Structure 1
Amino acid sequence: MNWKSFFMGAAVGLIGGYVVKEVIDQKTNVSPEKVLEQVKKQFKQNGPISGSWIHMEAEPYEKQQIHYRVYKGGISKNNNGSTEQFEFIADAQTGTLLVVRPLTGDLVS
């Protein structure tokens, strides 16, 4: 067996495996832009939104002993002349809201 061919084949296999893993990881996660769009759509049902933001990198999060990768963000709304602000935590894999918390109140989930 030619060692040069063996190492070349192994290198190509490793690179190919890494590329496939990255493509699969990207397809199983919802983009942060899409999550923010979904959250804004839900909030708009109760009135106009004045601002929004989302952290672009997923981070680990645990809720009731279940581990998630999540995006964290916020929404500002105008309500009868006053501004209400909310923070949210959304599952990075599905886009599902896990937590919505008013900045001045108790946790709502």
Structure 2
Amino acid sequence: MKLRDFLIGVATGLAAAVIVKEASEKVSPYVPAGQVLENIKKEFKKDSPIDGSWIFMKTDNFSNGIMTIPVYRGGISRLHEGEMQTFEFAADARSGVVVELQEV
């Protein structure tokens, strides 16, 4: 095998990988809802055990008065110091960052 043929193969493989990556991001630019929930649960577990959790799999629009972003909405319940606490959250669907958290 010639070096030239090998380098053409490597270049073709890299180009195909870039094209597939770009196409997959255009199809679904959002972080999976399950992964977002798992990350939020992991942070809550650092403080106390979780009793229950939920997340809507479809995105919703969240506006802070300046901009509107797609978010996943969900909730966490936990037993903290003998008292049940329930939180609802909104997490950015593109990055998974919590943009709103309130105790209900």
Interval of TM-score (by shorter of Structure 1 and Structure 2):
0.7 to 0.9
Letter in 2 for 1:24: K
Aligned-residue CA RMSD (Å): 1.6
Distance 1:86 1:29, change over 3 A: same
State TM-score, norm by structure 1. Answer: 0.70
- Structure 1 partner of 2:54: 53
Count of residues paired in the alignment = 83
> What is the TM-score with the length of structure 2 in the denominator?
0.73
Shift, 1:22, TM fit: 7.3
**Residues 66-81 of structure 1: matches in 2 within 5 Å?**
66-81=67-82
Name the SS of the counterpart of 1:100 in structure 2. Answer: strand
What percentage of aligned pairs have identical amino acids? 35
Match of 1:94 in 2: 95
Q: Displacement of 1:64 after TM fit?
A: 3.6
Name structure 2 gaps, 5 residues minimum: 1-21
Kindly report which structure 2 residues correspond to 1:12-31, keeping only aligned pairs within 5 A, or say none: 24-26=26-28, 28-31=29-32
SS of 1:42 mapped into structure 2: helix
Distance in 1 between residues matched to 2:92 and 2:27, nearest whole Å: 14
